[in-house]
Chain A
Amino acid sequence: MKNWAPIEWTIGLRFLTEGIMQTVFILTGIAMGVGVIVFMSAMLSGLQANFIKRVLTSQAHIQIIPPDEVARPLRSSSGLIEGAIVQRPSQRILSIDQWQTIRSAMKARPDVITVSPTATGSALAIRGDAARSITLTGMEPELYFQIVRVPDYIVAGAAKLESDDILIGTELAKDLGAAVGDKLNLSTASGATQVLTITGVFDLGNKGANERSTFVALRTAQSLLGLIGGITTLDITVTDIYAAETIAQDISATLPVQADSWIKTNAQFFTAVRAQQSSNTLIRSFVGLSVAFGIAAVLIVSVIQRSKDIGILRAMGTRRGQILGVFLIQGGVLGFIGAIIGSSLGAGALFLWHGAARQADGTELFPLMLEPSLFVVAAAVATLTGVAAGMAPALRAARLDPVEAIRG
């Protein structure tokens, strides 16, 4: 006992296999369209994800810093401004006022994951005759490394920081001729000096950063920078990276600090992403539209070719709704099968391109991001597009006057 499909399916599928040439041609068209869309979407989201990953493993989602110091003009008792020209004061290294309170407030927020206090300032690293100016970042490794994954970038030694230890970049190590285990003499503008041992060398993938960035324990930096008990920055990660800017604005508004999100500091990137996304959307819509018109055109031709079949079907008692179904199903099936073939083509092309396109250093240009959801969405959208495109031909078929069709 075979279980047969509804008659609309039986007739619709038979019409498709009967006109196999038309079916193959339109399927090729649909598959190419869907392939282009899948390829573009996957590559763009790969590139974007790669960039975001790089950014977010090397900086905090939100940085809290002390507010800018501003100079207020001198006023006389009558309210008249006496010194009208106000010079911007030089920005001293300042600790965040009552940073422990702010840290507790941050930790209490449900949308915040990690809060890491850091003390940052400039210093001079001296070894023998060589001296280089560096940025000294003092932090608590167990917190800070959750935000900036320094351990992932260590190329020699280990990311271990006691109070006499320092991590330096590959460029600085080269400039100073230093290696793991060697000692460095650090001095700061405040006159403090300390001898530190290099425990690890990292490569952040950026020459400037490898020259200047150094990491030490928070206490070490505090004493070198003359900030005993103080910190210059609170680094924060949040649950939803795209909500970072809103959260930052919220923090700035409610606390006497300045909060900058990664979205703000990487504004250029986001402008580029947005431009790319809108042009991508535009291209995808037009490809989708031309696929839809292709399906509609083929089905219209099929309705005309099969008008006698439709007429005789109506004469033998087939309802208008059934005729409508026959052609909507054809549209949907074309969209669905085209999407399956197209997704495979797009994925295949992406694999080849991923293998061929390399960055200057030989690493991948973008990660392969082929999520099953992309295929599911492509198939669903293509099926719906097919059904929608089948609407006009199907209505035409359903409205066909059987007398006209048979007389022809």
Chain B
Amino acid sequence: MADVLKLEQIRKFYNAGTPVETEVLHGIDLKLAAGEFVALMGPSGSGKSTLLNIIGLLDRPTSGTVSINGQNTAGMSDSEMTALRGHTIGFVFQYHYLISAFTAAENVMMPMMVDHGRRTDAMQDVAYGLLADVELTRWRDNRATNMSGGQQQRVAIARALAMNPSLVLADEPTGNLDSVSADGVFDLMRRINTEHSTTFLIVTHNLDLAMRCDRILDVIDGRISGQEAAEAENIPGSRAVAEPLSPA
């Protein structure tokens, strides 16, 4: 299968050229194939969010190349990156970041509205369909602020899917939820992945959830190592508290 994402020798320095210069990513190579469902793990401060922002074209690497669907983004202008981001990448964050001034359905429509320049009736049908998919039909016209954390995160997932992206990036999507809601949100993403073959890259600290992914990538000190989920237990430096692997 074609690569949705290809990273080559990604390095990232913060405060480059100053006395407090820090190298966060030390030359990362990574490929994600279409339809993959991948977990990204690693201790706090290891550079997971930094990497995700670079993959999501929100940030540029200090050196190295990011290719989305075979398209090298290195020479792209800001606005080209914005356009590519809008059309190919969906984001889910730990703090859902729904826009509180809008309803659930309007939040889901937002990526389509900004892309098209204005709202159309067809967008509402798409948004209602996605919200039905995440089982929120009852709440679709509620303001974002009137919903539970789990519900808000489902809206955020529906919104990430609005433009039918090739890649969904989720930075600790369950980090702020109780375990029942976290399970529900995770199951939802997995279901979308199998039903629509959408590629997911999910940052999580939860080994249980990570082990239900196709692959686990571990970021340690700005370097990446990955294995099949089944081998996760053997990763040096992975959670000491990891529970025994339950049979898949």
Residues of A within 8 A of B (CB): 1-2, 4-7, 10-11, 14-15, 17-18, 308-309, 311-320, 322, 402-403, 406-407
Contacts and interface: CB of A to CB of B under 8 A. Distances in A.
Contacts of A11: 101
A403 B114 contact: no
Interface stretch (B51-59, B67-75, B235-243): B51-59
Nearest to A406: B93
Contacts of B110: 313, 316
B50 to A, nearest CB: 9
B102 interface: yes
A313 B99 contact: yes
B113 interface: yes
A18 B102 CA distance: 9
B212 interface: no
B114 A318 contact: yes
A15 B99 CA distance: 10
A318 B111 CA distance: 8
A317 B119 contact: no
A317 B102 contact: no
A406 B114 CA distance: 19
Interface string B32-76: 000000000000000001000100101100000000000000000
Contacts of B95: 308
Q: Which of A4, A17, A315 has the most CB of B within 10 A?
A: A315
Given A2-B121, A4-B120, A403-B59, A317 B101 contact: no
A301 to B, nearest CB: 15
Contacts of A317: 82-83, 85-87, 111, 114-115, 163
B86 A402 contact: no
A11 B114 CA distance: 10
Given A5-B118, A403-B53, 14 more contacts: A2-B121, A6-B117, A7-B117, A7-B118, A10-B118, A18-B101, A311-B97, A312-B99, A316-B91, A316-B110, A316-B163, A317-B83, A402-B58, A406-B58
Contacts of B86: 316-318
Contacts of A309: 97, 99-101
Contacts of B119: 4, 7, 10
Q: Which of B53, B85, B99 has the most CB of A within 10 A?
A: B99
A2 B73 CA distance: 38
B118 A6 contact: yes
Given A312-B97, A313-B99, A7 B85 contact: no
Chain B interface extent, by class: 20 to 34
B97 A406 contact: yes
A335 B90 CA distance: 37
B78 interface: yes
A191 B92 CA distance: 110
Contacts, number: 81
A116 to B, nearest CB: 66
Nearest to B83: A317
B58 A403 contact: yes
A7 B58 contact: no
Contacts of A17: 101
A14 B110 CA distance: 13
A311 B90 CA distance: 14
A82 B95 CA distance: 107
A316 B58 contact: no
Nearest to A402: B58
Given A4-B120, A316-B86, A317-B163, A308 B97 contact: yes
Contacts of A319: 79, 82-83, 114
A83 B134 CA distance: 115
A5 to B, nearest CB: 7
Contact of A1 (B113, B121, B163): B121
Nearest to B59: A403
B213 to A, nearest CB: 23
Contact of A315 (B49, B83, B91, B117): B91
21 contacts: A4-B118, A5-B118, A7-B113, A7-B114, A7-B119, A14-B101, A308-B95, A309-B97, A312-B97, A315-B58, A315-B91, A316-B85, A316-B86, A316-B159, A317-B86, A317-B163, A319-B79, A319-B83, A319-B114, A403-B53, A406-B97
Contacts of A4: 118-120
Nearest to B120: A4
Q: Which 5 A-B pairs have the closest CB atoms?
A: A317-B86, A18-B101, A4-B119, A312-B97, A316-B111
A6 B118 CA distance: 5
Contacts of A1: 121
Contacts of B93: 312, 406
Given A10-B118, A316-B111, A319-B82, A15 B101 contact: yes
A140 B102 CA distance: 77
Contacts of A313: 99, 110, 114
